[in-house]
Structure 1
C-alpha cells in the first residue's frame, strides 16, 4: 500500500483522540463533580481552540516549513497530555485540554495538507486515510472505557504515547514537500480568474451543516433512545456497528468511484441523501432496528460525502494554498461539531425530536442543489 506511514500517522492521531473524547464529559461531571453545563463549556473551549489551530496550522503549512510545524504541534500535544496526566485537577484540566485542542487542530491541518499533496501521486489516499482513521477511532473508543476504569491518568499517558509515536514517525518517514513555482503573485487563497473560492466556501458550509446534524447521534439521540426504553449499552452498540460497517465496506468504495471531480461530486450528493435518510428513519422510531438502520445510513453518508469533500477541496487548490484550503475544511468540521449539541438541544426543546429530525432530512435534501451546481475551473 502506498504511503503506509502517512496512513499510520492518521490512524494513531485518531486513536489518541478516541481515547480521550468519549470520557471527557464523564470525567468532568462524574469525577470532578462539575455540572453538565460546565462540561459543555469545556468541550466548547476545546472545539474553539481546535478551530483556531486548524486555521493557524493550515496557514503556516503553506507559508512556513511543513515538517517543523508538525514536530511543534506533535510535541505540544504530548506536553499538554503529560501535564494533564500529572495534574488532572480543576481548574488546570480545562486549560490543558484547551491547549491540547489548539495543537491538535494545527497537527490535523498540517497532516491533511501533506495528504493533499500526496493525492497527486496516490488518488485514493483520502479514501484509505479514512479507513485507517476509522479503524483507529473504533479501537480507541473501545479501549477508552477500559483504561478509564483503571485510572484517568492511564488514559492521558496512553494518548500521549500515541502522539509521541506519531511525531517520531513523521520525523523518520515524512519528506519535505516540493511545491511547484507560482506563475503569478498570489496573496490570497481567493482565485482571481474563477469562482473557486465561492465553491470552497459552499463546500465548507455543507460540511458545517452535515456535522451539526451528525452530532445529534453523539448527543441527543442517546436521550431519545433512553426515553424509548432502549438501554445505553444498545446505544453504544450503534457505534460498534458503524465501525464494523466502515471496516468491511470502505475498501470496496474505490471500485465503484474513480478519482475524478465528477465522481467525487456524485459521492457528496449520494452521501447527503444517505444522511437525509438516517434522520427520516428515526422520526417516530419506537423499535431498535430503526436506529440501527439510521446509523447504517449515517455510516454510508460518511463513507461517501466526508471522504469526497477533502478530495473536492483539493481540486480547487494549488501548491501555494493546499494546506490553507484543507484547514478550512477541518475548521468547518470542528465548527459543526461544536455547534451541533447546542443547536440540537435548542431545536429539540422548542420543536421536539420528530420535527427536528424531519427538518434535518429536508435540509440535507436541499443541500443537494448547490452541490450539484459545483463546477471545476476549466483551466484546472
Structure 2
C-alpha cells in the first residue's frame, strides 16, 4: 500500500496534461531512437556509401532539424500546440516510411532532410505547452519531460537494434508506426490550455515556496507581453550551443579515440548505458542539488563545471575507468543543464512568443550536433588527442561567460 500511495502522490504532484505530454515524449523519442544510432550503419553498409558521405547526410538532417525547431516554435505561437504536433508527426511518419518501401539513394537523402525538419516541429511545441500548463513548475516540468525522453531513448534504441537485425526496412516502418501512434494520441488527448491558464495562478516566488524541494528560484518574473529580453536569451542560446559542441564529442571523437586505444564497441556502449541508468536513478541527487543551488544561473554554472571536470579527467588518463568516471560526471552536468536552460527561457518569454523562443533555444542542439563532429574531427585528424580535449576545456569558458551575462541581465 505504501508504494501505491507514493505513486498516487507522485502523480498528483504534476498536472494531468504534463503526464500526457510525458507519454507523448516517450512515444516520440522512442520512435526517433529506432533510427538515430543506425543511420550511419545503414548508409555505409546497406546503401554502400562511404562514412564521409554518411556524415554529410546527417549534417543535412541536422540542418533540417534546426529549421524545424524554429518553424515549429513560431507556428506554436500562431496556431497552438495541437496543429503543430499533428502536422509534424503525420509528416514525419509518412516521410520516414518511404525508405522502408522504396530503396533509392536520392530519395533517402531527401527523406533525411524532410524527416529532420518535420520531426523537430514537435519539441518546441511540447516544451512551450509544458510551460503553459504548469508555469509555476519551473524546471520541474522540463525535468519531468527530460526523464520521459531518456526513457524513450533507452527503449527505442534497444528495440530498434533488434528490429534492424531482422530488416532495416522494418526499422523504418516501425519508427513510422510509433510516430503515427503519437499523432493519434495527440489528436485525442493533447489540448491547448484555456487562455486564463497561460499566466501563473500565483506569483512565481509563492509557487516555488509551495514546492521548495525541486523548484528553482528564477532571477526574474515572466517578461511583459511586448518585450523580449534578447541579451539573456541570446546568452542562453550561445551557452547551450557550445555545451552541445562539447557533449557530442563523447559520441564522435572520443568514441574514435577509445576504439583506437583498444576499447571494444560493447565497452564504449556501456558508457551510454551508464548515462541512461544514472539519469533515472540519479534524480534524488539532482533534486538535492537543486535545493542547494536554487537559482538557474547557479545550476548552469555547476553543470558547466561538471562538463569541464569530465574533460579534465580524460586529459589526465586514458584508462577505461577514467572514461567511466568522466561519463558519470558528464551525465550529472547534463541532468542539471538540459532541463534548466529551457525552463529559464520560459520564464523570460512573453506568452505570445513562448513557442518561438523555445524553438530558438532548442535549435542550439542540432546546430551543436552539426558543428561538434566537424570541429572535433578536424582537431582529431591534425593534432594529438590532448589538443582536442584542451580546446574543449577552453571552450567551456564561453558558456560560463554566457551564464554570467544571463545572471546579470535577467534581473533587469
Describe how 1:22-61 pairs up with structure 2 within 5 A: 22-61=37-76
The 1:347/1:232 distance shift into structure 2, 3 A limit, reads: same
TM-superposed deviation, 1:150: 0.6
- Distance in 1, matches of 2:41 and 2:384, equals 26
What is the match of residue 297 of structure 2? 265
Specify which of 344, 348, 364 is matched with residue 312 of structure 1.
344
The 1:12/1:238 distance shift into structure 2, 3 A limit, reads: same
What is the match of residue 187 of structure 1? none
TM-superposed deviation, 1:230: 1.2
- Distance in 2, matches of 1:165 and 1:254, equals 33
Alpha-carbon RMSD across the aligned residues, in angstroms, is: 2.3
Residues 161-207 of structure 1, C-alpha deviations (whole Å, 9 max, x = no match): 2111211221111122334699xxxxxxx989978211111111011
Q: Does 1:176 align with 2:208?
A: no
- Distance in 2, matches of 1:294 and 1:310, equals 25
- Distance in 2, matches of 1:229 and 1:221, equals 13
- Where do 4+ consecutive residues of structure 1 move more than 4 Å? 190-195, 376-379
What is the match of residue 136 of structure 1? 152
In the alignment of these two chains, the number of paired residues is: 371
- Distance in 2, matches of 1:208 and 1:256, equals 24
The 1:378/1:279 distance shift into structure 2, 3 A limit, reads: closer
Output the TM-score relative to the length of structure 2: 0.85
- Distance in 2, matches of 1:181 and 1:231, equals 52
Residues 50 and 102, structure 1, Cα contact 8 Å, conserved in 2? yes
Helix, strand or coil at the partner of 1:22: coil
The 1:269/1:279 distance shift into structure 2, 3 A limit, reads: same
Unaligned 5+ runs, structure 2: 1-10, 199-222
The 1:367/1:81 distance shift into structure 2, 3 A limit, reads: closer
TM-superposed deviation, 1:231: 1.1
Q: Does 1:104 align with 2:136?
A: no
Output the TM-score relative to the length of structure 1: 0.91
- Distance in 2, matches of 1:300 and 1:181, equals 33
TM-superposed deviation, 1:119: 3.2
Specify which of 141, 157, 166 is matched with residue 125 of structure 1.
141
What is the match of residue 74 of structure 1? 89
Q: Does 1:215 align with 2:231?
A: no
Unaligned 5+ runs, structure 1: 183-189
- Distance in 1, matches of 2:292 and 2:377, equals 38
TM-superposed deviation, 1:143: 2.2
Q: Does 1:198 align with 2:231?
A: yes
